[in-house]
Amino acid sequence: MRRILKSEAGFSLIELISVMAISTVLILVSASAISVFFNKYKEINAFVRLQTEAVRCLDVLRNGYTVGSGQFQQFYGVSNAKFVEITGRADEAGKGTGIKILPPISNDYQKNDFMHIYLDNKAIRVNYTFNGVQVDSPRYLFPSREELGEYEVTKFTIGNANQYGQISPLSLGTETTLLEVEIEARALLKKGPMPNQNKYKTVNFRTLIVRK
């Protein structure tokens, strides 16, 4: 009986080494691409959050910061204030770096209530008294305490849009008031070897807020 001869030739050592080398290169390229993708994702996410929190801060200033709780919860803001006063001094004439708000009074306990929103060491903070009791320490409005270092406010100015050129503080009285508010903030995207080599992304929002 004749035997049918079959080729039993496999891969040579050189071929195996070549395949392994190519596979290693592909893996390294893929890992590098994934790393770049996640770094870019983190940067985009940080920038989106920066914009979101800056807009939220302006919204709180306009519509009110929440004080109290439950059925006693109230909102102290510019739109419902009975009196506002610009505080601090900015580089621009007629503008300050904070605003003091006197809310509407619904009982005798609130006759000394106030809300003060101001720039303090690259953060916007809130100090207030509610029902005659002052908060134990100023709260962080933007950025939050946990996000200090990742986000920072580089500019926060408030001015009377109808009365430029005055010297701060400005007492705006009980008439209809138009305030111009500007926030400039930045997010830390990447730390450099030195602080001045850090990579940041900056946003700037300017809006008008009416107190009636």
CA–CA gap between residue 131 and residue 66 (Å, rounded): 13
Q: What is the overall mean pLDDT for the chain?
A: 82
Residue 42 pLDDT greater than 60, yes or no: yes
Beta-carbon-side half-sphere exposure of residue 212 (alpha carbons within 13 Å): 3
Paired sense of beta strands 177-190 and 151-160, if any:
antiparallel
**Calculated CA dihedral for residues 12, 17, 22, 27, nearest 10 degrees:** 130
pLDDT per position as a tens digit, 153-163: 999 999 988 76
Q: Which whole number is the average pLDDT over 115-128?
A: 95
pLDDT cut 90: percent of the chain above it:
39
Task: Give yes or no for a contact between 53 and 38, defined as CB atoms under 8 angstroms apart.
Answer: no
Could you give the 3-state DSSP secondary structure of residue 203? strand
> How would you classify residue 88: left for phi > 0, otherwise alpha for psi between -120 and 50, otherwise beta?
left
Q: Which whole number is the average pLDDT over 29-47?
A: 74
Residue 11 pLDDT greater than 50, yes or no: yes
Closest of 201, 198, 170, 165 to residue 184, by C-alpha: 201
**pLDDT-derived band at 44, boundaries 50, 70, 90:** confident
**Calculated CA dihedral for residues 179, 186, 48, 34, nearest 10 degrees:** 170
pLDDT per position as a tens digit, 180-203: 999 999 999 888 888 888 999 999
Task: Give yes or no for a contact between 151 and 185, defined as CB atoms under 8 angstroms apart.
Answer: yes
CA–CA gap between residue 175 and residue 83 (Å, rounded): 9
CB atoms within 10 A of CB 178: 14
- What's the pLDDT at 75? 87
Q: Which whole number is the average pLDDT over 36-50?
A: 82
pLDDT per position as a tens digit, 63-117: 999 988 777 788 889 988 888 999 998 888 778 999 999 988 777 777 889 999 9
DSSP 3: P
- What's the pLDDT at 49? 93
- What's the pLDDT at 88? 92
Task: Give yes or no for a contact between 159 and 180, defined as CB atoms under 8 angstroms apart.
Answer: yes
